[in-house]
Structure 1
């Protein structure tokens, strides 16, 4: 279990770009934008890289839809998994596909098996403020394994904007809102809750993510190492 279009043409492109940018502050919806994150274990050792690219951005009226393609690479530089998820911006809210909540290790481990996935999408408003309470999100996965079903649920609860702070990574220094949540994972006989924090910077997106054990000690960190838009 340990283991995101000559004068008229240009006008259309620019107006689409502006609409997408104004719609979402914290999830850049620019086709071709790329983000690279390095994953570290609790001892600070690199565990590989996650590469994200925004693809297939479409705007209709006040709604912008986009796809985030993800490529996971291990510490030896070998590609281990590819996937994607959708996200939508409407009005003042960005909604992210609940499938993004599933750990990549699960897709990797049970590749080829039948999965029944359901859940509640993750929401992130544009107007964040310290102390703000955010909606919960969850995902449920039922995996068919030779006549047996393995059920896993992940609930993000107690989501709130905890504070503002500046964060420095290899990609630069960013002013961020820190979003806290309790992540409840239930699978077979395992039932655990892990606190986590995500640092979001306006115009860039996620800068850092860190998970903690029940004693408050870090279990792993993901940081933005480079990006282009």
Structure 2
């Protein structure tokens, strides 16, 4: 699912640091760019993503980063692309999740209802603290049907810092654990799915690893940093 991929890419502390500034999530660095590889449960590479900053600007006293993410298959074909804003204030960081839905529906917006509770991180991330719930609700009406899609990020908790190894290098990472619930109704069919996600963040890079599990604890996908600049 497209929104599923983007959501888990968006979204974290590690052992001897009590509190970490919120820019560990999205580093404020001009021309920042990174590539991440995506693997299935058997560690087969199934795709990769490229994240880069289009711009960093000051708007009404706030810092706004415009982010572009492209997802590629293993033959380097673009299979998905999303553009969104990350906004820093004096007290929090906000990821604008409404823009994910709006871009996907293009000229159909008149038939779409979008309600969002954006992803918020406080300025200081302290281990064992809870983060506010985030959600995105999309409803599309046609002459004959009404379809809806909802993503809920809940139980968002900052865990103790942890060392992880990537390509022979040790990173002491901020970790955020959360549940992602996806509810959708298409025609007469309704379904709900729940995933558990653990994200690992590192200073000046942001997300460097993400693990997604099903509700029974089985690993589904792993996303790992390849390189950055």
Give the TM-score, by structure 1 length.
0.80
Going from structure 1 to structure 2, the CA distance change for 1:62 and 1:97 (only over 3 Å counts) comes to same
- In structure 2, stretches of 5+ residues that fail to align are 11-20
2:186 corresponds to 1:185: no
Indicate if the aligned counterparts of 1:171 and 1:227 stay in contact, CA closer than 8 A.
Answer: no
Partner of 2:149: 152
The answer to whether 1:135 aligns with 2:136 is no
* Partner residue, 1:227: 228
Contact 1:38 1:225 (8 Å CA) reproduced: yes
Match of 2:28 in 1: 29
Residue 180 of structure 1: how far off its partner (Å): 0.8
Is 1:83 aligned to 2:82, yes or no?
Answer: yes
Q: Partners of 1:50 and 1:94 in 2: how far apart? A: 23
| Contact 2:84–2:100 (CA under 8 A) maintained in structure 1 | no
> How well do the aligned residues superpose, as a CA RMSD in angstroms?
2.6
Matched, 1:176 2:173: yes
Residue in 2 that maps onto 1:65: 64
Give the count of matched residue pairs.
206
Runs of 4+ in 1 over 6 A off after TM superposition: none
The alpha carbon displacement at 1:143 in A equals: 3.3
Deviations 1:175-211 (A, max 9, x none): 1111011111101211122111111112211111111
State the match for 1:47 in structure 2. Answer: 46
Deviation track 1:57-95 (CA, whole Å, cap 9, x = no partner) reads 112464101110111111111111222110100114211
Q: Is the 8 A contact 1:168 1:174 kept in 2?
A: yes
CA distance in 1, matches of 2:199, 2:99: 14
Aligned partner of 1:163 among 160, 169, 175:
160
